[in-house]
Structure 1
């Protein structure tokens, strides 16, 4: 056990209230500024409301190029459609993994008139060699994602990657990527405590969206994002009320990032080309 290196908190971000789409109220937990990113992740938005005025306007047609979007629906129902003819519903507990690649125009619209809408959208960068590949999708229901029981300590929903817990290895159905994404919804019971192996060399962060969780010797509080130091093990412990957090880890690309709204490329010239291609009807 002497080769264990525990990850600790390196930097804290506070989620910021904002709007996106046609006026959807949300919080930005990662990507508030260019300095508040974690390679290879660009952004993480949190939407959480039982007020239809906060979400009914949805996200009408808009383009993407050069990265991937991961939508994880905790509660609610959204319809995805795009200009390549793809269509699908994202329901409670499910995910959609969209690789925008060289370009797509899509919409994400609520399929409910009331009730709670709650979930995450994560932007994951693509390496330069993959930014111009054809757009593609992976869709999985709640039943298709591994639900890892931690017994009295809680549970983990594994969205991407693999985890070995108590000698058993669990793997998400999401296909492997260059960035080696590990994404998990960690729900700890009151006083729950776990050790999660994360390969050294992957960047990692936690976003707390319920309760409180201790990360090594630091208490992570509601709506805080903690970027973690390198290491091969993560130790988490919940307080008397328990805690729930999103874990994001991935292999850094160490490439230039030039972003203009929904386009993420490596150079200004590539951004200019993306704008030209979109304006001239070349998406996809």
Structure 2
């Protein structure tokens, strides 16, 4: 077995307000963990009744929304709309420009919407591509069973490869995204491409990483080492019903200049983006004429 990566930084995601009444635990993108190429933001969100993320623009990044509980509607200025169900994922390439709304659903028979949103920087050559989506309902996300279907762990393969199972999602730039679910204590080794940035975010339970006996608990992001001989990471769940996401990405050798929802590689490109948005051009043609139905109920 290759050597395991280690925890080199640990950040607690403290709950704060975001959007229109939503509650967010942000780790990547916070002052404690500002730069983790290619990742820009990691939010663990929940949205009380009446809250949501009404019409807003994006350029230059991918946003990955993974619903853990409840449902969320989405709609954009290119005419795309639909629903992300509990356990489903939407991988949106914002590219040159899109305006969209994300509004969770509420009802007597629906749990309070909770999920993860990850922003991934796009390689410079893909910053101005046409926007696109890759969406998987819960039953379309492939599942790996590292120790068999009767074993303690299953892995939802949102992107990348895990224990012989590969996701159909094709990101622009390297990115693997897994949801590990342990029904009881156990140990698993997950391969990760050498040199890629990798981290774990803990949702439930308690775990250890590598040979270190330190216990790690929910709402912490664990940044992993990336030594040349570390071909993956060994994770041990020490409690029943332990869950975490493990995400890895190919580092980008490019500057990051971010202005709110716009992410480019220079101040000049950000200035051009703001002007494009103000004048409604180069991907933002409907910036001042389009309004979503879901964001203005």
What TM-score do you get using the length of structure 2 for normalisation? Answer: 0.88
Gaps of 5+ in 1: none
Aligned to 1:190: 184
Q: Is the 8 A contact 1:19 1:26 kept in 2?
A: yes
Q: What is the CA distance between 1:210 and its match in structure 2?
A: 0.4
* 1:60-99 map, 5 Å: 60-99=54-93
Q: What is the CA distance between 1:28 and its match in structure 2?
A: 0.7
Aligned to 1:145: 141
Aligned to 1:272: 271
Question: What is the RMSD of the two structures over their aligned residues, measured on CA atoms?
Answer: 1.5
Aligned to 2:166: 171
Q: What is the CA distance between 1:159 and its match in structure 2?
A: 0.6
Alignment partner of 1:43 out of 41, 44, 61: 41
* 1:51-62 map, 5 Å: 51-52=48-49, 56-62=50-56
Alignment partner of 1:30 is 2:21: no
Q: What is the CA distance between 1:228 and its match in structure 2?
A: 0.2
Aligned to 1:101: 95
Q: Is the 8 A contact 2:46 2:113 kept in 1?
A: yes
Query: CA–CA distance in 2 between the matches of 1:240 and 1:61?
Result: 41
Q: What is the CA distance between 1:219 and its match in structure 2?
A: 2.1
Alignment partner of 1:181 is 2:180: no
Gaps of 5+ in 2: 286-297
Query: CA–CA distance in 2 between the matches of 1:205 and 1:83?
Result: 33
Query: CA–CA distance in 2 between the matches of 1:159 and 1:75?
Result: 16
SS at match of 1:232: strand
Alignment partner of 1:226 is 2:222: yes
Q: What is the CA distance between 1:242 and its match in structure 2?
A: 4.1
Q: Which has the higher strand share?
A: 1
* 1:189-268 map, 5 Å: 189-216=183-210, 217=212, 218-230=214-226, 231-268=230-267
Query: CA–CA distance in 1 between the matches of 2:85 and 2:168?
Result: 17
The 3 A distance-change label for structure 1 pair 176 and 254 is same
Q: How many residues align?
A: 273
Alignment partner of 2:9 out of 11, 25, 31: 11
Q: What is the CA distance between 1:64 and its match in structure 2?
A: 0.3
Residues 151-171 of structure 1: CA distance to partner in whole angstroms, max 9, x if unpaired? 3222111111112x2xxx111
Q: What is the CA distance between 1:254 and its match in structure 2?
A: 1.9
The 3 A distance-change label for structure 1 pair 248 and 29 is same
SS at match of 1:22: coil
What TM-score do you get using the length of structure 1 for normalisation? Answer: 0.92
Q: What is the CA distance between 1:62 and its match in structure 2?
A: 0.1
Q: What is the CA distance between 1:177 and its match in structure 2?
A: 2.8
Alignment partner of 1:123 is 2:122: no
Q: What is the CA distance between 1:35 and its match in structure 2?
A: 4.2
